Amino acid sequence: MRWLVLILCLLATGANALNLTFPGARVITIETEDAGSVRLPETPWAPETVTLGTEGAIKKTVIEVPSDVMTTLQMIAPLRNQLEAEGYRQIFSCADAACGGFDFRFQLDLIGEPQMHVDLGNYRYLLMRNETADPHSVAIVASPAVATGFVHVTEVSKAVFVAPEATDTPDPDVIETPNLRTDGLIDTLVATGRVVLDDLEFGTGSAQLGIGPFSSLDQLSVWLAANPTARVILVGHTDAVGSLAANTALSQRRAAAVSNRLVNAFGTARNQLQAAGAGYLAPAASNLTPEGRALNRRVEVVLLSLN
């Protein structure tokens, strides 16, 4: 029998297991992180909304369910009932358009395609918390596909920290070169006409640029200030997950976010900057592997003129 009763063991370090059962489902994939942060929205999306990360040990589980006979509410309801029985309370719940549609979906830090599919016109989100339990936060997203459906469960528990190993005292006569990914950024830009700003941080599917500081932007702003006739274009790139239109729009917003940060935080003259989005049309690596897709999600600087 293909569809079996699935028991989701939501394990938290130093706590009892939280067992959720879901009839007729199977686990697609599980991702874990001992200490990190994940965005768990508590309100519908709005242009001024900023969703801060919830910190802790992160576990993401994707399960497949036979949704050809189930709505998104029917997919989520059994898990919500079990969480309520365990003392969790509902913080926020919404469905597709009421959540904010496309923009709300990309405020969610989900495992991407093909493991987790989200129909932007038919999905449901639920956030529940129990401050005395571990995991203390559980977010669920449900969305149907052809003859099946996907449920994404995100758990946040107490972070696990590992003590660093003792190291020998460095030789005072040895001068180490800082291991910065942005070393030589300007040299590369001038020599090749382009360079990747590879220390930038964006949330999954989000155009919200992290707080920083970002050494690449510092170096670029100093160089542009010293070369007021220089002109550059910031070009956003994505992996090949999702449609071209969606990825092009996202890459454009990310490039614009970098441009705005340079102007507002570093004082760069706006007439020295342009922003554009290429979506997945100019990959730096194969989109067939997680490593390649990570390299393709980037913002580059292209030198347009120097004089």
In this structure, is residue 29 part of a structural domain? yes
Q: Is there a single domain that holds both residue 54 and residue 135?
A: yes
Q: Is there a single domain that holds both residue 23 and residue 66?
A: yes
Tens of pLDDT, residue by residue over 243-261, are 888 888 888 989 998 999 8
Q: Is there a single domain that holds both residue 94 and residue 227?
A: no
Domain CATH code at residue 285 = 3.30.1330.60
In this structure, is residue 63 part of a structural domain? yes
How high does pLDDT run on average in the chain?
Answer: 82
> Helix (H, G, I), strand (E, B), or coil: what is residue 140?
strand
pLDDT (0 to 100) of residue 179:
35
pLDDT (0 to 100) of residue 130:
94
Q: Is there a single domain that holds both residue 283 and residue 203?
A: yes
In this structure, is residue 174 part of a structural domain? no
Q: Is there a single domain that holds both residue 251 and residue 140?
A: no
In this structure, is residue 217 part of a structural domain? yes
Q: Is there a single domain that holds both residue 151 and residue 254?
A: no
- Per DSSP (E only), the strands in the chain are 6-10, 18-22, 26-39, 53-65, 89-95, 124-129, 137-145, 148-157, 194-196, 231-237, 273-277, 298-305
Give the span between the Cα atoms of 221 and 212, in whole angstroms. 14
Task: Identify whether the C-beta of residue 27 lies closer than 8 Å to the C-beta of residue 61.
Answer: yes
Computed over its alpha carbons, how large is the radius of gyration of the chain? 22
Q: Is there a single domain that holds both residue 145 and residue 204?
A: no
Q: What are the distances in angstroms from CA 112 to CA 28, 151, 294?
A: 12, 12, 12
Give the span between the Cα atoms of 103 and 46, in whole angstroms. 8
- Provide the CA 34 distance to its chain's centre, in angstroms: 16
In this structure, is residue 172 part of a structural domain? no
Which residues form the domain of 200? 185-305
In this structure, is residue 261 part of a structural domain? yes
Give the span between the Cα atoms of 246 and 68, in whole angstroms. 26
Q: Is there a single domain that holds both residue 26 and residue 124?
A: yes
Q: Is there a single domain that holds both residue 143 and residue 276?
A: no
DSSP H helices in 57-184: 72-85, 96-99, 102-105
In this structure, is residue 166 part of a structural domain? no
In this structure, is residue 162 part of a structural domain? no
pLDDT (0 to 100) of residue 15:
42
* Domains contained in the chain, number: 2
Tens of pLDDT, residue by residue over 133-182, are 989 999 999 998 878 889 999 999 998 876 666 555 444 443 333 333 44
Q: Is there a single domain that holds both residue 129 and residue 200?
A: no
Angle between helices 215-226 and 244-266 (to 10 degrees): 60
Q: Is there a single domain that holds both residue 153 and residue 10?
A: yes
Tens of pLDDT, residue by residue over 223-238, are 999 999 999 999 999 8
